[in-house]
Structure formats: structure tokens, C-alpha cells
Structure 1
Amino acid sequence: MALGGMVGGGIYAVLGIVTQIAGPATWLAFVLAGVVAACTGYSYVGLNRLVADDGADGGGSVTFVQSFTGNSTLAGMVGWTLLVGYVGSMAMYAFAFAEFSIALPGVPSRLAGLPLRPVVSVLVVAGFVGLNLLGAQATGSAENVLTAAKVLVLVAFGVAGLLYATTVSSEQVALGAAEIASFGPIMAAAVSFVAFQGWQLLFYDQESVRDPLEVIPTAVSVAIPVAVAIYAIVAVVTYNIAPQAVQSNPHTALADAASTIAGVVGLSNAGAIVISLSALFSTGSAINATLFSAGYFAKGMLTDDLLPDRAGDSSASGLPTQTLLLLGVVTAAFTAYGSLSAITSFASLSFILVFGAMSALAFAKRDTDRIAATWPAVGAVGASLFFLLMLYHLYTAERGTFYAVALIAAAVFAVELLYFERTVIEREIPYLDAGDSAD
């Protein structure tokens, strides 16, 4: 689940955007983002153990904020920010799923005069909502198959690509030595951060994990380095083998690279089809993992009265049907009408903000024997730098996306304020009514 929640986003949804910023040093951007994610993972594991030491059930960001600050409003706002980030992530995966679907041979880009991409994106979201309604066993089995398939294909692609670049291609492999000393890779790392959020989904479903205090730390410590290695290898291969595609059609550049590699043995079309199918496995796996864990996350928020009762039944066995449907509807609307850049940027900023806050919280608890100071400090400083650099990048290079993200953030904050301060507002309404009557 941890690996499935990461790889689909990093390779097939954000690779093109990151490459356009960092160029041949894209591999370094993924490594930098992975280091900050690993430090945040350390913080989450430490905070989770402290919560368990206090006799409470384990949890994620919301539980940590409630346990260590006692501020339910702050915990709720963190939770709402994460939920919007998860919706943005799923919308991003669904967008990429559709891009690779219509890139398959024989699949038209338009149907009855209308673009097919939004239709496919909405249908894949609906499909995984239906799968999750069947229950956790079906969801977990599907995730095992999807993750195994995509990792196998991507590793094969990476190994074959490195062999091609070093033995067949006449061009020297570019690793971006000139870009390493610039801000490009750091800025690109901020944009790619959404590709590293999948591991923390495990903390929301600890009730279904045997011995979670041992299993989850192991899963996190394995999943993040494996994801970084896959991202870095595939980034190097794709940039060096399909540089034109990276610039002109970045969302499906991997298919062009796979076609070139497989063309050595006369299987050019087969290579493109295999990597495109792998993209469908990967993005589908990411939607599945994120929806499953976000549903449990929302259920926990319902239990703590941090979401309206209309959002679902917290006493339901498994995932509440209404919650899944609500997440699916909002995700479908996002992926149908949003742009990939705006969706990716908002999701990245959401996770950078929350992950940085959790690292800072872990640093504040550094005096315990559960948490050393160094790793949370690196996570907090790295996330802060990423947040500022990403805002700067959006403002200078993508002004329209910057304003779109600002509007989404303002809308989310306004809704959060109305919900969590509803008691105060309701208290004030009679006075407002009385003043109106006097007038």
C-alpha cells in the first residue's frame, strides 16, 4: 500500500513537470524530495510510538496534533488540508491514467466531438470507488497485483534503458552536473513532493495491520528508498532516451522512451504499449491505495467530530459508503475540470505544509528516547524551503496556476473556519437578528 501510493504519482503524473524544471538533474530532485520524505517518515514513526506509549490508538497527523497540542480545531484543519490533498492526488492520478489510455493505439482522443480524457478520468475514479465498496479484502488483493506489476515493469524499463543509454546510444549519458549547483533541482523537488505522500496512508489503517508498531516502520523504511531508486533510474533513462518527448509531450514521455529501447529488437510498438499499460496499473494502484486509506482517515475524523455527520457514518463496519461516494464525487469533479499543473501544485503544497508541521512537532518531542533531533529538524527545514520555493516558482513561472492554488486554499480555509467556528457563529446569529429587528 505504501509503495503503491507513491510510485503511480512520481513516475506517470509528475515526471514531465519535474523534468521541465530540473532537466537532466531530475534524478537529484527526486532524491532530495525523498530525503525530506524519509525524515518526515521518521517523525511520523516516532510520534506514533509516543501516542501508543500514552495508551491511545495509533494514528496520523490529526491524532498527533490532538494528542500533543490538545487543539481540536487545529487538528481538524490539518485533517481537512490532508483530505483536499488526497483528493488532489487522486485527481492527478486519474488525469495521468486517462492521458496514457488515449495514447494507446486505436484509442481516439475525442468521442462524438468531445475530448475523451475527462470521461476516462471520471470512469476510473468511479471504478475504484466501486472496488472499495466491495470491502478491504478485494481492495488489498487488487493492490498487491497492481503494485507488483508496475514495479516489475518499471525496474525492467530502468535496467533496459540504462543498458541502451550506455551501450547502444552514441550520446553520453547526461546527469545534469551543471544544474546540480543551481536551485532548479531543489525547486523541482518541491513540485515532486506529492509523489512521496503514499507511505503515510498506512498510519490511518493500523487496525487492520498485524503488529503495526513494528510492521509500519519497516514498511516506511523500505518503501521510500525503493520509490526514490525507481524514480531516479526512470528519470535518467527517460531524459536521455526521449529528450524531445520530455519537452513536447511530457505526460507520456516514458512511452516514447520505451518505444526507442524496444526498437533495438524490433518491438517498438510493443514497448510503448507495455509501458502505457504499466502506467494504467500504476496510476490505478495509486488511486486505489489513496482512496482506501483516505476513506479510513475520514472515518476517524468523523468519529472525532471533525467532519460533518452528513459525510458518513463513523459506526459503519469498514469504510462508510457515503464517505467513499463523497470522496469519489469531489475527485471526479476535480479531475474532469482541473489542469494537471494546478492539481499537482495544490496537492504538493498541502503535503509539504502538513509534513513540515509534523516534523516540527516531532522535533519539539526530541527529548524522549523515541525521537532523535536531527531527522525531524531536516524534515522541518526541508519542507519549509520546499514550500517557499514552490510558491516562488508558481508565481514567477505559472502565474495562472498560482492564483488558482490561492483561490482553492482560500476556499478550503473559509469552509474550515465556518465549520470549526460554527458554535461561535450560531451564538452570534441571535444578536445579529436582534440588531436587524431594531433597525
Structure 2
Amino acid sequence: MGDGNGSKLGFWGAVSISVGGMIGGGVFAVLGVVTTIAGAASWLAFALACTVSTCAAYSYLKLNRIGEQRGGSVSQLEEYLDSTEIAGIVGWTLLFGYVGAMAMYAYAFGSFAVALTPSPVLDAVPLGEGLLRPVYSVCAVGIFVALNVLGARATGTSEEALVAVKVAVLLAFGGLGLWYGFTNDSLELGLSVVSQVSPVVMATAISFVSFQGWQLLMYDQGSIENPAENLPKAIYVSIAVTVLIDGLIAIIVTSLASPDVIQAHPERALALAVEPVIGSIGFVIVSIAAIFSTGSAINGTLFSAAHFAKGMIGDGLLPDKTGRASADGAPQRTVVVLGGLAALFTAYGSLDGITSFGSLAFMTVFGVMSYLAFRERAHDEITPVLPAVGVVGTAVFSALLVWHLWSAKRGTFFVVVGVAAAVLAVELLYFEREHVADGIETVEQEIASEFERTG
């Protein structure tokens, strides 16, 4: 992910890659879903998710530091557990989590594109927004699949510039919103909601999908200058910057926009909140920023996920038919497969379903990696408290998310559980394929023997 002349990402370039993905997920996609659950206490939900995500990041980084291999979850699981099956299942889970994340970004991209579509065009389209949103979302995925297949990538410098503009826009709106809230006595921190533990913890579970962008840096260590020093700093700084922005924007949105307005279009929560303050120009500016932000998040996630999958193909953890491990750069077939799955998910999935599935996938992987670090707690480098918090936090929030879906979103529950079960079944079939084949062969031989005996 270095620039076109082969130079590597510096510290700020790495921070920009990480923050770009997390802002795309937090502010422009999952924020509205979180605020419909936790209301004005949404800032606390983001803070709690950030805490557990930071513990997972600590676990990743420490395992990366003390081990012989440098990489993400799959490399570390192979090294510390010496189990290709477990490493492969976690890797597949992570890949499907990235597919869910891209689908979420594309969903938000499509929604903001619809918001900027002139009314006459909307009126002329059959089903209006109901048709255009999926079309825009699928087209967004298609564009970035094509760019990655052609080898076109944002450079480290351009990514820094784009993220700097997005952060500046968000901080400007955040400052303006704080001023407006104070002067109109409408600023709300949700302290009354905090005492109601259930909404906050449910919203925390949903928001995990917005704190996974830092993980992409683990797979691009070779593209970072002095990774031993810059990688940990970049990850921690990017998480801190993201939770600060997410929390600030959450306060502004829940203070300035009514729950009914957010409920109607949760993915446009920020744009809807600033419109009453500075008029339609604010809505347009936020919408344009959201399109750029979610677009770059699709691009970055697709690129890194394809490279991650390439490593799995090389290790025999993914079928050869999904791409060539010897490909120069991201395997084209892998990019198309991942993009196709994301397009399918974003076209037919609901925002609740997509964010819930993504959060469950990442919580599962974060929990496994935190447990792995806790197992290595005898090492002087590792402080066991942080991995323990990661294990307990992900386990508790995963269970609470499933309970929330069952009790409040029954339809989404069945979709998410069904997709998760299908993914797990495919994973198990792939990694147990030799045993299955042996079993089938044995049964066939027994049937043939019985036929010969009785025939």
C-alpha cells in the first residue's frame, strides 16, 4: 500500500489507512443503528467497544512482537497453536467479516447517493429509493473491484490527504454542533440512559464492526516504514482518533436529530442532524464526504482482504479456484469473488443484518486472538489483564448481541444466524473434506461388497 514510486507508508500514512476505514464504518454507516438503540448514550457504547477493541489490538501486537512470524490472526494461530484447521476457520470468519464490512460501506454509499439524486429522477424510477439504493451500492462495489483488478490504488499520500479532509469536515461539524447545542440548550449526553445498562451494552455489541479498520495494517506490515515502532503507534493512535470522532458525532446527532428522523434513515444520521443547523448545504457536504469516505473504505478493505486471502491460498487454507497465490499483487479472481459476495450481501441485506453479522464475525476473531495472547501470558512482554478483558468483553457482547436480535429483531436474528451457520458449515466441510471423502469411499465400498455378496 505504498505509493506509486515504491516508497513505504510512514506513520501518518498508516494512521490514515486505519482511520479511513473506521470512520467510514462508524460515522457514515453504523452510527444511526447504534443511536436508535442507545440514544444519547451512544458515545458510551462507542467508548466501550473501543476499549475491548484496544485490548484485542494489544493482543495482536504483542503476539506479533514475540513470535517468529509477522502477520495477522491466521499467521499467529498457525504459529502458536500449530493447527491449520483452527487458523483456517478463523481466517474464513475474518474474510466473511470483511465481506460484511464492505457490504455495510456500500449500503451507506448507496443511501447517500440516493439522497443526492434529484427528485425527478427518483420519481421516474420504479420503486424509487427501494431500487436505486441497491443499484448504487452494487455499482460502488463493482467500481472498486474494477479498480483493484486493474491495479489502481490510492497512494499513501493521497490517502493521508483524503482522510485529513474527512476528519477536518467531521471536526468542523462537531464543533459547530457543540456550539449550536450549547447556545440552544439542546446538548444531551444521555446520562439518564446510562443508568439503563441494557440499551448501552446492546449498542456496544452492534458497534464493533466500526472498530476493525486497524486490523488491516497487520497484513501490510511490509509496506510500513519501521513497522516495529510505527505499527503499534499507528494502531493505537487511529483507535483513539476514531473513538473521539465517533463519540463527538454521536453526541451531536442525538442532540440535534429526533429519534424518528434517525430511525427513518439511520445511515444518514449525521447529514440529517446538521441540516437544521446550517441548511441543505450541510446535508450536501456531509453526503459528499460520506460517499468519498465509504468509497475509500470499500477500496481499502477489498485490497487488504484480497491480499489476506492470497496468503491463505498459499497456505492451502482457501481453495486454489479462488485465486492464484503466485499472482503479482492481489489475485484478480479473489478480488472478484470477495466483491461479488459483498455486492450480493449489500443488495439483499438490511443495514441491521449487515452490521450485526459483521460485528459478530469480528468479535469472534478478536476474542480468539485475545485468548491466544492470554495463553502466552507467561511471556514478559504480555500483561494478562488486557487480553483477559478482550476475551470476556467479546464473549459477553457477542451473547448480548444475539439476545438483542432474538428479542427485538427476530427476522434479523434468523437471517444473521442462518448466514453464520452456512459460513461455518462451508468452513467445516472444506477443512474436513478429506475425512468426508474417506467416509464416502468407505460407505461406497461397503455397499459394493454387500451388493456382490447378495447378488
* Alignment TM-score, normalising by the size of structure 2: 0.91
- Contact 1:39–1:378 (CA under 8 A) maintained in structure 2: yes
Distance 2:50 2:72 in 1: 19
The 1:142–1:110 alpha-carbon spacing in structure 2 relative to 1, beyond 3 Å, is farther
The 1:110–1:220 alpha-carbon spacing in structure 2 relative to 1, beyond 3 Å, is farther
In the alignment, what sits opposite 2:40?
A: 24
In the alignment, what sits opposite 1:164?
A: 180
The 1:112–1:166 alpha-carbon spacing in structure 2 relative to 1, beyond 3 Å, is closer
Q: Which runs of 5+ in 2 are unaligned?
A: 1-16
SS of residue matched to 1:15: helix
Paired letter, 2:249: V
Paired letter, 1:6: M
In the alignment, what sits opposite 2:5?
A: none
- Contact 2:23–2:293 (CA under 8 A) maintained in structure 1: yes
In the alignment, what sits opposite 2:113?
A: 101
Paired letter, 1:174: E
In the alignment, what sits opposite 2:51?
A: 35
CA offsets, 1:99-122, max 9 Å, x none? 111111516446641511111001
Paired letter, 2:137: S
Q: How does 1:208-227 map to 2 (within 5 A)?
A: 208-227=223-242
Q: How many residues align?
A: 428
Distance 1:106 1:145 in 2: 29
In the alignment, what sits opposite 1:391?
A: 402
The 1:216–1:130 alpha-carbon spacing in structure 2 relative to 1, beyond 3 Å, is same
In the alignment, what sits opposite 2:139?
A: 123
In the alignment, what sits opposite 2:74?
A: 62
Q: How does 1:251-290 map to 2 (within 5 A)?
A: 251-262=267-278, 268-290=279-301
In the alignment, what sits opposite 2:190?
A: 176
- Match for residue 202 of structure 1 among 209, 217, 220: 217
**1:376 paired to 2:387:** yes
**1:318 paired to 2:329:** yes
Distance 1:142 1:128 in 2: 16
In the alignment, what sits opposite 1:299?
A: 310
In the alignment, what sits opposite 1:265?
A: none
- Match for residue 402 of structure 1 among 413, 425, 428: 413
Distance 1:336 1:186 in 2: 29
SS of residue matched to 1:174: coil
In the alignment, what sits opposite 2:97?
A: 85
**1:421 paired to 2:432:** yes
SS of residue matched to 1:59: coil
- Contact 1:119–1:336 (CA under 8 A) maintained in structure 2: yes
The 1:110–1:413 alpha-carbon spacing in structure 2 relative to 1, beyond 3 Å, is farther
In the alignment, what sits opposite 1:47?
A: 63
- Contact 1:73–1:420 (CA under 8 A) maintained in structure 2: yes
Deviation (angstroms), 1:289:
1.6
Distance 1:36 1:70 in 2: 26
- Contact 1:143–1:289 (CA under 8 A) maintained in structure 2: no
CA offsets, 1:167-209, max 9 Å, x none? 1x243x2111112122221111110010000101111122222
Distance 1:436 1:294 in 2: 45
Percent identity reads 50
CA offsets, 1:26-64, max 9 Å, x none? 01000110111111111111011122xx3x3x1111111
Deviation (angstroms), 1:256:
1.9
* Alignment TM-score, normalising by the size of structure 1: 0.94
CA offsets, 1:368-387, max 9 Å, x none? 12211121111111111111
- Contact 1:86–1:294 (CA under 8 A) maintained in structure 2: yes
- Contact 1:241–1:257 (CA under 8 A) maintained in structure 2: yes
- Tell me how large the CA RMSD over aligned residues is: 1.6
- Contact 2:262–2:272 (CA under 8 A) maintained in structure 1: no
Deviation (angstroms), 1:136:
6.7
- Match for residue 188 of structure 1 among 187, 191, 203: 203
The 1:180–1:138 alpha-carbon spacing in structure 2 relative to 1, beyond 3 Å, is closer
The 1:142–1:369 alpha-carbon spacing in structure 2 relative to 1, beyond 3 Å, is same
In the alignment, what sits opposite 2:257?
A: 242
- Contact 2:147–2:153 (CA under 8 A) maintained in structure 1: no
**1:149 paired to 2:162:** no
**1:435 paired to 2:449:** no
- Match for residue 352 of structure 2 among 341, 344, 349: 341
Deviation (angstroms), 1:131:
2.0
- Contact 1:25–1:176 (CA under 8 A) maintained in structure 2: yes
